[in-house]
Structure formats: structure tokens, C-alpha cells
Amino acid sequence: MRRTILLWLRVTWRSWVLLAAAVLVIRAGAQQPARQAAAPRQADTARQTGEIDPTRIEGHEKCVDCHKTELRAWSASKHSTRAFDLLRAAPTALEYATKLGITPENIARKSLCVECHATPQHDAASGRVTVLPGVSCETCHNPSGGTDGWLNAHAVYGPPGTKREEESPAHYEERMARCREAGQLRTSDLYLLAKRCFSCHVVDDEKLAQAGHEHPKGDFELVEKSLGEVRHNFFIDPAKNAQASTLWIDPLRHSPGRSAAGRMRAMFVVGKLVDLETSLRSLATATKDDDFSSKMEKRISKAFAVLSEDLLAELKRTKLGELEQLVKDIQPTLEKLGADGFSTDDRRLYLEAAGKVARAATQFADRDGSELGELDELDLIPKGPFDGVFQP
Ligand code: HEC
Ligand code: HEC
Ligand code: HEC
Ligand code: HEC
């Protein structure tokens, strides 16, 4: 019974995301007709919600032929080595599960735990859903399988025999559109990728938090967390390795304004916005004023302070139009929250604010960061092992 309520809560939460995403698409469409025409985004709700379709999970084996370096990095990361084992080996896992009424044998097979610690896969032979251990390639880049899945179109450059270097610009556009429609999340989908991280790394579930499962211990700073073990955007030279991935800075396929430093700036701001959005949505699911709601309030005020004080006060406002507007729009809600505290009556306000943040973040995520050089001087962006050189 308790689990049913819990699942229901999560479903409701996801429905809200879905609804907000739909509103977002409609509104973005109204304002940016040109972009909308080039990049149809409505049909692909899975891209927006992060709902994983187990029948389309192929597993990382399908990527290994062409992505050896990415695979090597991922295999050494905790997403691969530890995320799943925690469910079976950590004493705390049993403790949380017991409080939530999840039986020990279900923790690592059939429970809400699996959503964040593993990847559900449908086994066609047995007709059953099993789990692949850990946070997999397709957890972040979206399920790829099926005849209309993105993997089929992903590395086909034209009529049989066409090499990647020979692909026509028109075919490239068509391929990108097909992969996008099939749900693939690429480097250019910064906002949706960031949402993916936060959907796991911030507890959005009051019951789970009350059972003692809290994370992250400190902040989840997107740049910092992307730079270390998770990083797999190696700057491979396409002239040396045509079978390797395109790169954010690949001059053949991306605008010349793009650089690793610019990417870090855009990522930093988008990370703060997504943190704010996630925390607002989580707050809206809280049922009472207690530890969970107050943690979410703290996250909200912290992220908002970076946006409204650090960035807007220090940087040239002309360069941050969408942020300036956003801060104006949501300030009344956040001031009310600060003054009156959390109230379930204000749920609608929190969700409205979250929707506005989502819209600003979507816009901001299209930037290449080249205009935001001043941000480097504020010393806000964490530095990591990001040297931007080819790693064999
Ligand atoms: C919303 C996603 C999410 C759900 C649902 C979830 N976890 Fe986690 N869990 C995480 C993340 C992310 C971490 C890593 C936290 C960090 O390192 O900052 C984690 C860490 C842990 C840890 C190690 C840290 C600790 O608290 O001991 C255990 C054990 C754990 N989870 C068990 C569970 C169990 C059992 C369930 C189901 C009752 C569950 N998790 C559900 C995302 C989730
Ligand atoms: C499906 C849920 C899920 C998603 C999506 C996800 N993570 Fe994780 N992440 C986890 C779990 C579970 C762990 C294991 C925690 C542990 O080992 O204590 C983890 C561990 C990590 C760690 C190592 C522990 C730490 O905090 O230093 C980093 C870094 C990290 N994730 C960053 C990211 C980034 C960046 C993204 C998005 C690009 C992301 N994660 C997306 C669930 C997720
Ligand atoms: C935790 C989420 C996560 C997981 C798991 C993950 N990726 Fe990624 N991937 C990302 C993000 C985020 C980026 C964009 C990174 C950036 O811009 O710095 C990315 C970028 C890439 C790129 C582009 C790299 C480049 O040089 O620009 C490739 C290729 C890729 N991923 C393949 C894979 C493969 C293959 C796997 C599994 C072995 C995998 N990813 C697992 C989140 C993830
Ligand atoms: C037949 C070879 C091949 C296979 C198999 C393959 N890829 Fe790729 N992938 C490529 C090539 C080549 C590129 C770079 C060219 C491009 O952008 O299309 C790439 C690029 C990518 C990118 C980066 C796109 C971007 O702009 O950020 C991601 C993410 C990615 N692959 C994920 C995967 C995942 C996940 C799998 C396994 C499910 C996989 N790929 C399987 C060849 C392949």
C-alpha cells in the first residue's frame, strides 16, 4: 500500500514534468518559429521526461565498437562500478528499503531504487523486465533500440558505403533530426542532459528522504561533477580518428564560437537553473513543513542567490537578458517563500516558477558561452581535470 502511494507520487511528479514540458514546447514554439521548424521537439516526450522504455534498452555492448574511449571512462566510473552494488551490499540500503516496505529480494530487482541505481531492460526471450546494473549510456543518452530507434540512424552517413567524412550537409541534418525524434540526447541537449543528472542526484521524493536516503551530501555542482570520473567528451581529432565521436568543438560540425571554456560557462549557469527548477518541483511534492521541505527551500535560495546576486550583479546585464527577466518573474514567489515559509497552498506558485525556470534554462542551454568570458573572473566555476587535449 505504502509503495503504491509512493509510486503514485512519483508518477504524479513525472506527469507534472510532462505537462510543464508540453507547455514549454508550445510556448517556445510560439516565440521561436524558425528554430521550431528546424528542430521538431514535440513528439519525443521521452526526451523530456526521462522515462526509460525498457523494450528499447540495448546496453553498452552495442556502443563498444565505435566508442572505446567513452566506454573505458564510463566503465571506471561509479555509475558503472558502484551504483548498483550499493543496493545489494550497503547496510543502509536495507535500512531505507525496510522503512519503505520494500522486501529485501525486491530492492535490486523491482523497486523505486532500481530507477536510479540500475537500467531496466526488457528481455524479449522471457518477456520479462530485468535490470542492467548501474547508470548506463542509455540512461543519459536515452534508449536506442527498435527499428525506429536512434541507433539505427546514428552512424549511417548516406547510401551504403558512405564514409562519415563524405556525408552531405543535408544528410547530416536529416540524420540529426531522425535521432532527435527517436529520443537521442546529444551534447547539444545541455538542458535535458543536466535535468537527467539532477533527476537522480537530488532526492525528489519526500518518503525516500524521510527513510534516511539523502543526497547529495553537499551541493551537486554540475560542472564539478561532470569534470571528474564522469567526463567522456575527449577531444579526439576527427582527422586522426574518424570513427570517434564528434566533439563539441569539432569545427566541421559546430559553430566556430564554441570552445571548452564556453561550454563550462553555459553548463555552470544551466546547472544552477536546473538545480533551482528541480528543487522547486520537489518542494511542490512535499506534504508538510519539515526536514525535506526545508532542505529544498535551502537549495532554492542558494541557487537563486547565485543567479540574482553573483551573476546579475556582476555581469553585464545585456548579456543575460533571459536571466534578468526570469529573476524578475519569480522573485515574488521566492520572497513569499522566504517570508511565510513553505505551504502546501502555494504548490501552484512553486510549479509556475519552476516552469519559468525551465523555459529560461532551455533558452540559455543553446548558448555557446563565448559571450560570457567575464564569468571566468568571478571564480565561480569549479576547475577540474579538463585539459581539452586528445586522450588516447
Ligand atoms: C532519485 C534517485 C534515487 C532513488 C529513487 C534511490 N537512490 Fe539511492 N542514491 C542515489 C544517488 C544519486 C546516490 C549517490 C549520492 C551521492 O553520492 O551523492 C545514492 C546513494 C545511495 C546509497 C549510498 C549512500 C547511502 O546513503 O548509504 C545507498 C545505500 C542507496 N542509494 C540505496 C538506495 C535504496 C535502497 C533505494 C530505494 C529505497 C534508493 N537508493 C533509491 C539516487 C537514488
Ligand atoms: C539514473 C540515475 C543517475 C543519473 C541520471 C546520474 N547519476 Fe550520477 N550517480 C548515480 C548513482 C546511483 C551514483 C552512485 C553513488 C555512489 O557511488 O555513491 C552516482 C555517482 C555519481 C558520481 C560519483 C560520486 C560523486 O558524487 O562524486 C558523479 C560525479 C556523478 N554521479 C555525476 C553525475 C552527472 C554529472 C550526471 C549527469 C550527466 C549524473 N551523475 C547522472 C545516479 C545517477
Ligand atoms: C551520467 C550520464 C551519462 C552517461 C552514463 C553516459 N553519458 Fe555520454 N554524455 C553525457 C553528457 C552530459 C555529455 C556531454 C558532455 C559535455 O558536454 O561536456 C555526453 C557526451 C557524450 C559523447 C560526446 C563526446 C564528445 O567528445 O563530445 C559521446 C560520444 C557519449 N557521450 C557516449 C556515451 C557512451 C558510449 C556511454 C556509455 C559507455 C555514455 N556516453 C554514458 C552523459 C552521459
Ligand atoms: C557504428 C558506430 C557507432 C555505434 C555502434 C555507436 N556510435 Fe555513437 N557515434 C558514432 C560516431 C561516428 C559519432 C560521431 C559522429 C556523429 O556525431 O554522428 C557518434 C557520436 C555519438 C554521440 C555524440 C553526439 C553528440 O553530438 O553529442 C553520442 C552521445 C553517442 N554517439 C552515443 C552512442 C551510444 C550510447 C551508443 C550505443 C547505444 C552508440 N553511440 C553507438 C558511432 C557509433
Taking the C-alpha atoms of residue 79 and residue 70, their distance in angstroms, rounded to an integer, is 13
Q: Cis check for the bond before 216: say yes or no (omega within 30 of 0).
A: yes
Q: How remote is the CA of residue 243 from the centroid of ligand 4, in Å?
A: 9
Q: How remote is the CA of residue 320 from the centroid of ligand 3, in Å?
A: 28
Q: According to the model, what pLDDT value does residue 125 have?
A: 86
Query: For residues 280, 286, 288 and 291, what is the CA-based torsion angle, rounded to 10 degrees?
Result: -70
- pLDDT > 70 fraction of the chain, expressed in percent and rounded: 78
Q: How remote is the CA of residue 172 from the centroid of ligand 4, in Å?
A: 13
Position 68 confidence tier, pLDDT thresholds 50, 70, 90: confident
Q: According to the model, what pLDDT value does residue 216 have?
A: 67
Q: What is the pLDDT of residues 123-177, one digit of tens each?
A: 888 888 899 999 999 999 999 999 999 999 999 999 999 988 788 989 988 999 9
Q: Is 118 in the pocket of ligand 1 (CB under 6 A)?
A: no
Nearest atom in ligand 1 to 94's CA: 35
Lowest mean pLDDT among 211-220, 297-306, 351-360: 211-220
Taking the C-alpha atoms of residue 22 and residue 255, their distance in angstroms, rounded to an integer, is 29
Taking the C-alpha atoms of residue 137 and residue 59, their distance in angstroms, rounded to an integer, is 7
Interacting residues of 140 by C-beta distance below 8 A, sequence separation 6+: 185, 193, 196, 197
Task: Find, among 24, 91, 115, the residue nearest to 356 by Cα.
Answer: 24
pTM of the full structure: 0.89
Taking the C-alpha atoms of residue 5 and residue 272, their distance in angstroms, rounded to an integer, is 31
Q: According to the model, what pLDDT value does residue 34 have?
A: 31
